[in-house]
């Protein structure tokens, strides 16, 4: 193992529940067969991705969210600062609520996204994947009463996702968990340890994220074992492959995957309106925010691209980033790209996102080129999301 291949604080816990050997995995896989997330190894799978997907959609599974970067934003100016850097204000949120937030540059292009936890008007936790936003924050921080500190190592985190996730947390002793509304936060006690629970997730299913001190890992694992025994189910871990299947089905965007994220060629960057995220841009609010003028103009002039879903019923040699083509008047034209793509084990087909030029958005017959054979492979286009599961937002949650 090289120095950069590190275990997160929950890696061993999730591995034990998946019969997964981390050291053997790293030793037997090349670096392009797993992902490095904020300096920690994220396995593509703990077992069979199809089994992990089935556990998420039919039962419950665990995802190690500990590497998520966590930034504490406190002080009397915390609300004003977040309202400035996010496209939708959070100052009006009630306490103990979460919100999805977008971070754009002055040109309106998406830099990053994240979940904001609001504890009170002067205390927030911003959770982002891993991007270093220090210089961006510093550029817009002219406030007198504001503290921004990274607290990534202070919290271990598990995403507990699937239709039985509420039942699992009830077995933890969180007896009223079913009444927790989507994006609501609540503290619970578990064997003397404090656990923060948010009804959020990245699978498009019923699910929760729990955050706790690394010192509480043993108590959390014992609660998992008790839930498995009582409910007579297993709680396996799931890796990036199963997560990709779920998040693409749910139409969930990842900056840097579904955008270039380099800003060297702006034709490869996207505005929120071009990513199905226009609902999170409040251009009519009075206060200024980063990118407001550019986004106001874009709302009037229209988007350059539209994001759709695509399905490809062939196990061909294709990859993320490939160009998407169509024949118009018997002439082949490039109409867009496929920024995200995954082989869906259950459906035995490729599913992904298609970023299509606005002028070509109504074209139906599209195709990609098989990298091995050079043949054209038909792609069907779909409105996003592919799925909309009722239990995701159902309150009380089913258990």
Query: CB-hemisphere CA count at 13 Å for 89?
Result: 16
The reported pLDDT for the residue numbered 304 is: 96
Share of the chain above pLDDT 70, in %: 98
Encode pLDDT of 52-61 as tens digits.
999 999 999 9
Residues 6+ apart with CB under 8 A from 135: none
pLDDT range class, residue 345, cuts 50, 70, 90: confident
Q: For the chain, what is the mean pLDDT?
A: 94
The reported pLDDT for the residue numbered 1 is: 38
Rounded to 5 degrees, φ, ψ at 254 are -125, 110
Share of the chain above pLDDT 90, in %: 86
Report whether pLDDT(155) > 70.
yes
Sequence-ordered alpha helix ranges (H) in the chain: 11-16, 22-28, 49-58, 78-85, 134-139, 165-171, 217-231, 240-249, 292-301
Cα 307 to Cα 381: distance, rounded to the nearest angstrom: 10
Domain annotation for the chain: domains and CATH numbers: 11-66+155-238 (3.30.1360.120), 69-142+271-303 (3.30.70.1400), 304-387 (2.40.30.110)
Residues 6+ apart with CB under 8 A from 361: 306, 308
Residues 6+ apart with CB under 8 A from 162: 55, 56, 57, 58, 59, 60, 61, 203, 205, 206, 207
Q: Taking a C-beta distance cutoff of 8 angstroms, is the pair 112, 257 a contact?
A: no
DSSP state letters, 167-195: HHHHHTT-TTGGGPPTTBEEEEEETTEEE
Encode pLDDT of 372-392 as tens digits.
999 999 999 999 999 999 999
pLDDT range class, residue 314, cuts 50, 70, 90: confident
Encode pLDDT of 157-176 as tens digits.
999 999 999 999 999 999 99
Report whether pLDDT(193) > 80.
yes
List of E strands, 2-106: 34-37, 40-43, 61-64, 69-74, 97-104
């Amino acid at each position: 193992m090289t120095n950069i291949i590190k275990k997160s604080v929950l890696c061993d816990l999730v591995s034990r529940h998946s019969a997964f050997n981390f050291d053997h995995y790293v030793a037997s896989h090349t670096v392009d067969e797993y992902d490095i997330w904020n300096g920690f190894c994220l396995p593509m799978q703990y077992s069979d991705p199809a089994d992990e997907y089935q556990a998420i959609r039919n039962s419950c599974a665990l995802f190690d969210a500990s590497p998520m970067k966590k930034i504490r934003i406190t002080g009397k100016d915390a609300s004003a600062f977040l309202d400035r850097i996010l496209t939708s204000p959070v100052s009006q949120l009630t306490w103990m609520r979460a919100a999805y937030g977008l971070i754009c540059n002055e040109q309106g292009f998406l830099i990053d996204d994240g979940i904001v936890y609001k504890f009170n008007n002067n205390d927030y936790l911003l959770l982002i994947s891993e991007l270093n936003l220090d210089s961006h924050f510093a550029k817009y921080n002219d406030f007198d009463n504001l503290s921004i500190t990274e607290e990534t190592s202070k919290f271990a985190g598990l995403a507990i996702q699937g239709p039985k996730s509420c039942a699992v947390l009830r077995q933890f002793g969180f007896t009223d968990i079913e009444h927790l509304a989507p994006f609501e936060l609540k503290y619970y006690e578990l064997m003397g340890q404090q656990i923060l629970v948010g009804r959020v997730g990245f699978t498009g299913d019923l699910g929760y994220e729990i955050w706790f001190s690394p010192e509480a890992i043993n108590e959390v694992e014992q609660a998992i074992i008790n839930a498995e025994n009582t409910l007579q189910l297993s709680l396996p871990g799931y890796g990036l492959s199963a997560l990709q299947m779920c998040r693409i089905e749910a139409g969930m965007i990842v900056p840097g995957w579904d955008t270039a994220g380099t800003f060297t060629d702006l034709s490869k960057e996207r505005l929120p309106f071009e990513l199905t995220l226009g609902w999170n841009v409040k251009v009519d609010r009075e206060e200024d925010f980063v990118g407001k003028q550019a986004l106001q103009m874009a709302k009037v002039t229209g988007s350059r691209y539209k994001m759709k879903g695509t399905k490809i019923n062939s196990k061909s040699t294709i990859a993320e980033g490939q160009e998407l083509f169509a024949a118009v008047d018997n002439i082949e034209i490039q109409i867009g790209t496929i920024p995200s793509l995954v082989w869906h084990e259950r459906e035995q087909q490729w599913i992904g996102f298609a970023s299509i030029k606005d002028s070509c958005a109504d074209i139906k017959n599209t195709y990609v080129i098989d990298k091995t054979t050079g043949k054209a492979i038909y792609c069907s286009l779909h409105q996003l999301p592919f799925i909309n599961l009722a239990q995701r937002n159902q309150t009380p949650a089913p258990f």
